[in-house]
Amino acid sequence: MGRILIADDHDALRRGLARALTEAGHDTEEAPNGNAAIARLHDGFFDVVLSDLKMGGSDGLEVLRTAKALHPSTAVILMTAFGSVTTAVEAMKSGAFDFVQKPFEIEEMEVKIEKALELRRMRHELDYLRHTQNDIYEFDRIIGSSGALAKVLTVVRKVAKSNTTVLIRGETGTGKELIAGAIHHNSLRASRNFVRVNCAALQENLLESELFGHERGAFTGADKQRIGRFEQADGGSLFLDEVGDMSANTQAKILRVLQEQEFERLGGTRTLKVDVRLIAATNKNLATMVSSGQFREDLYYRLNVVSIDMPPLRDRKDDIPALAEFFVRRFSAELKRKMDGIRPDALKLLLRYNWPGNIRELENSIERAVLLTESSLITLDDLRLGETITPGVDSDGPSIVRIPPAGIPLEEIERRALVEALKMSNWVQKDAAELLSISPRVINYKIKMLKIEFPKGRREVAEQV
């Protein structure tokens, strides 16, 4: 449904049109002459403008010119009196979407409005696709020079040009989608669509229509033909995101298309064949899910031809300064705040934190800091990492320890504080000690005294430091 402006100096006609279109679910506004219409256009945005060609004040052509100048994506439909078709043709040349000759049936107008709205929607989708392809996924937008990331990029460069199916694994926020886009963008399919399907959000009852599309009238509510994701991706790449979050039923359906490479639109008779390159991503351990029977083994092998493991941010801390600077620059431009960077002590904290939410968490923290900061350098206090306390918060601040009504030994509180600090520091003792303002020797002693257990494989790392 759209926002529609109706400009006509013929009161009865204008009101009748407004009533009918409102009943059809649109949001309408009326203007009794050309000048009023132009004023409305300056005030707000309309999806569609219906304008009489000949009116008092400014005429329809001026309404058209104003609409196109202010909002190029607004569709203008002109209404002409019988006999003025030549002017209408002129109007089409200056960018009108369509015209109707008076008198007309309301249905005829409704069809034209639907077409205009549909076109806008498609343009919107195209813009979005182009934006994601050319902007966000450029190789040079992938920040970082750590060995861990370099390894990933080497594989990306190797597989991009082939048609191989790629499975990208990694914790949340590690850049899986970014890498999927980079693969597409650097492939021979780059000029075609990169279509993302979020498998976690697929509703089972709409699954087929979403993936394969439907014909008009295929089921109640299918008032238009719909092109499914597979078809949209024809010649390009289909990105199956969160592939570990599909129901058994959905897994079976996806597997079938992957095997047969063909499908029918819902309610359609024609079998469609598409040529898509598959890229899948997940933060789940699919191999474990296969052994526990939660993920189909045959689908797993079909998806896992080449796999790429995204390193968590805590394993590539060398990249933190560059990423942080990159996000500061980006958000200072987006939020229109002049920023010079990050204070050294704040940067030190960024390096020490263990980033459970990875790059997305870093991105969000910097965005919030740029928004909140009162100086041109991000300070320690601007970073509210993990919403836990940061050094520098004074003792009058919110309570940081909750004593259970039944009481708790002080030793237990100390134990929990140590574990919390170690977790935040990725189990690096020296960093945890710094968080708690004690010496490495003291923390080492306390860890032994309180018998704090390290997760497997962490102790060695910790002791080298």
Ligand X SMILES: Nc1ncnc2c1ncn2[C@@H]1O[C@H](COP(=O)(O)OP(=O)(O)OP(=O)(O)O)[C@@H](O)[C@H]1O
In whole angstroms, give the CA distance from residue 181 to residue 195.
Answer: 10
Query: What are the distances in angstroms from CA 382 to CA 62, 367, 371, 375?
Result: 51, 10, 9, 10
Q: Which of 58, 80, 165, 174 binds ligand X (CB under 6 A)?
A: 174
Single residue of 8, 177, 208, 210 touching Mg ion by CB under 5 A: 177
**Residue of 70, 106, 117, 178 that binds ligand X (CB under 6 A):** 178
Position closest to Mg ion via CB: 177
**In this chain, which of 173, 244, 311, 312 binds ligand X, going by CB under 6 A?**
173
- Give, as one character, the DSSP assignment of residue 139: G
Least spacing, CB of residue 173 vs ligand X, in Å:
5
Provide the b/e sequence for 347-369 (b: ≥16 CB within 10 Å). Answer: bebbebbbbbbbbebbbebbbeb
Q: Does 144 bind ligand X (CB under 6 A)?
A: yes
Query: What's the rounded Cα separation, in Å, for the pair 343 and 359?
Result: 20
Query: Min. distance of Cβ 322 from ligand X in angstroms?
Result: 8
DSSP for 104-132, please give it.
--HHHHHHHHHHHHHHHHHHHHHHHHHHI
- Residue 204 burial (10 A CB sphere; 0-12, 13-18, 19+): exposed
What distance, in Å, lies between the first and last C-alpha atoms of the chain?
62
Q: How far apart are CA 319 and CA 342, in angstroms?
A: 15
CA dist 214 and 40 (Å) reads 39
Among the candidate windows 175-183, 215-223, 287-295, 367-375, which touches ligand X by CB under 6 A? 175-183
Options 72-80, 142-150, 209-217, 231-239: segment touching ligand X (CB under 6 A)? 142-150
Residue 434 lies near Mg ion (rule: CB under 5 A): no
- 70 residue type, one letter: L
Does residue 244 bind ligand X (CB under 6 A)? no
Give min distance, CB of 231 to Mg ion, in A: 23
Q: Which residue is nearest to ligand X (CB)?
A: 175
**Interface with ligand X, residue 175, by CB under 6 A:** yes
Judged by CB, which is closer to ligand X: 60, or 181? 181
- Nearest CB to ligand X, comparing residues 202 and 323: 323
* Helices marked H in 292-357: 297-303, 320-334, 344-352
Q: Nearest-CA neighbor of 272 among 317, 213, 321, 200?
A: 213
Residue with smaller CB distance to ligand X, 241 or 434 = 241
Q: Is 393 in the site for ligand X (CB under 6 A)?
A: no
Closest CA to 226 of 214, 211, 217: 214
| Binding segment toward ligand X, per CB under 6 A, in 71-79, 199-207, 357-365, 446-454 | 357-365
Nearer to ligand X, 170 or 213 (CB): 170
Taking the complex as a whole, how short is the minimal distance between the CB of residue 166 and ligand X, in angstroms?
14
CB of 174 to ligand X, least distance (A): 4
Alpha-carbon span 65 to 79, nearest angstrom: 15
Work out which of 193, 283, 332, 373 binds ligand X, going by CB under 6 A. 283
Residues at the site binding Mg ion, with contacts judged by CB under 5 A: 177
Site for ligand X, rule CB under 6 A: 142-144, 170, 172-178, 283, 323, 359-360, 363
